[in-house]
Amino acid sequence: MESGSGHIFILSAPSGAGKTTLGRALREKFPHIGYSISHTTRPPRKGETDGEDYYFISRQNFQEGIRSGHWAEWARVHDHYYGTSAAFLDQEISHGHDVLLDIDVQGTRQLLKRYPGSITIFIMPPDLPALRKRLETRGADSPETIKKRLAAAEEEINQRHIYRHIIINDHLPEAITQLCNVIRQYTSPSRPKDPSVS
Ligand code: 5GP
């Protein structure tokens, strides 16, 4: 199903690959691109705000959403559920708005079925030892969680071939430039949010 002229940009990366920083840079450079706020059953981390970082909802509500077809895609990641509202996405792209999603590989596969024209971008960490070091120095996770995240990272990296663009985040400023160049192929930084408004 592909309606309207809005682009769907999907950004995926193993945790610790620098996706949050890159996503933030993108949103600064391309303010007209809307950001899809996911729903999750994960409890908020320190500093996270409901309705800004995620919509934090109960497991029961999430599962109800699965039954009612509320999610354009959903996945279970690190013991929690994450999903994107189908109504939100359909509305944005049918109005010609560009949208950026930060979702995992499972979700990307589902969205590619629903919106085959989605522009998929995978952020690669330079290598697994570097990723381990980043996760350790970030200090946000226990050794057990880091182990789980590294295993998940390896699995995601092995599926990177499903993405149209792959960016290696070895050197952050360079990765930001590459990412912006990719986005610029599809949309201009100054494109108005609603093409009907000049
Ligand atoms: P975190 O809990 O660290 O914010 O996110 C964990 C993982 O869940 C990340 O890989 C992130 O991309 C993924 N994620 C966040 N929101 C969604 C979503 O709506 N759908 C899917 N499939 N993955 C998501």
The token duo for 160 is 């990177």
Whether ligand 1 lies within 6 angstroms of the CB of 169 is answered as no
Residue 192 lies in a domain: no
pLDDT category at 103 given cuts 50, 70, 90 is very high
Q: Using the predicted structure, report yes or no on whether residue 108 has a pLDDT greater than 80.
A: yes
Index of the ligand 1 atom closest to the CA of residue 71: 19
Residue 84 lies in a domain: yes
The enclosing domain of 75 has a CATH number of: 3.40.50.300
Q: Phi and psi of 48, rounded to 5°?
A: -85, 145
Residue 3 lies in a domain: no
82 CA distance to ligand 1 middle (Å): 6
53 CA distance to ligand 1 middle (Å): 11
What is the number of structural domains in the chain?
1
For ligand 1, atom 10, the nearest C-alpha belongs to: 104
For ligand 1, atom 22, the nearest C-alpha belongs to: 107
For ligand 1, atom 14, the nearest C-alpha belongs to: 103
The token duo for 95 is 């109005």
Index of the ligand 1 atom closest to the CA of residue 107: 22
**Segment 4-39, tens digit of pLDDT:** 579 999 999 987 778 888 988 998 999 999 999 999
Give the structural domain span for 118: 8-184
**Segment 134-143, tens digit of pLDDT:** 888 877 778 8
CA 100 to CA 27: how far, in whole Å?
9
Contacting residues for 14 by C-beta, under 8 A, at least 6 apart: 125, 131, 149, 152, 153, 154, 156, 157
151 CA distance to ligand 1 middle (Å): 16
Instruction: Count other C-beta atoms under 10 Å from residue 97's C-beta.
Output: 20
Residue 190 lies in a domain: no
DSSP-assigned letter for residue 16: T
Q: Describe the chain by its helix, strand, coil percentages, rounded to 5.
A: 40, 20, 40
Q: Using the predicted structure, report yes or no on whether residue 153 has a pLDDT greater than 60.
A: yes
Residue 2 lies in a domain: no
- Mean pLDDT within 76-82: 91
